[in-house]
Amino acid sequence: MSTARRLHHSYEDYLQLLASSDAKLEYWDGEIFAMAGGTPAHAEFSVAITSLLRGALGGCRVYSSDLKVHVEATGLSTFPDGTVVCDELRATAFDRNAITNPAIVVEVTSRSTEDYDRGEKLSHYKQIPSLRAALIVSHRRPQITAIVRTASGFEVREARSGERLRLDSPALTLATDDVYARIALEAE
């Protein structure tokens, strides 16, 4: 009988593997994970919401899933589906391509990532001091969930079909129907 053994990788190992990989890789607690490939709808949702964010947030910069975010408090390095930065980019000392100061992160869910996006990954994001909101775009129904930092912690706001999502900082109004326009939802 063989026993499974957890391999611990350094961040340098992660960077070397990432440089030679065709897949996006996530790093946390010495483990390297390949991020799930997306469906055409997933890719379309990512473009739709980042395009709308770019048009709505003039004083901020909006990035695609190619921008790596590093959570200093927990050590997670990951590639959100979209990232908004409203200040100068701040990178880690050990990875010039990993920023630490997003104002908004966007995750488009999928069957394989929804629980992680809404659970453990979200708990990592909440540890980022600059984070004002995490936006979770559902792959199953027209619904955007915003987890918004307030003076007393985080609050959840949801906008469904026919509704608008509003954020105060940065100031944003986003119509759910605009994100879901002409995109087919995944079948259950």
Please report the pLDDT score of residue 4 as a whole number. Answer: 54
Please give the chain's pLDDT, 188 residues, in tens. Answer: 455 555 689 999 999 999 999 889 999 999 999 987 678 889 999 999 999 999 999 889 999 999 999 999 999 999 999 999 999 999 999 999 999 999 999 999 988 889 999 999 999 999 999 999 999 999 999 999 999 999 999 999 999 999 999 999 899 999 999 999 989 887 66
Please report the pLDDT score of residue 103 as a whole number. Answer: 98
Q: Is 125 helix (H, G, I), strand (E, B) or coil?
A: helix
**Strand partners of residue 148:** 133, 155
User: What is the chain's alpha carbon radius of gyration, rounded to the nearest angstrom?
Assistant: 17
d(CA 179, CA 175): 7
93 touches 64 (CB < 8 A): no
Domains and CATH numbers, the chain: 38-180 (3.90.1570.10)
149 DSSP 8-state letter: E
Q: Is 57 helix (H, G, I), strand (E, B) or coil?
A: coil
Please report the pLDDT score of residue 1 as a whole number. Answer: 46
83 touches 69 (CB < 8 A): yes
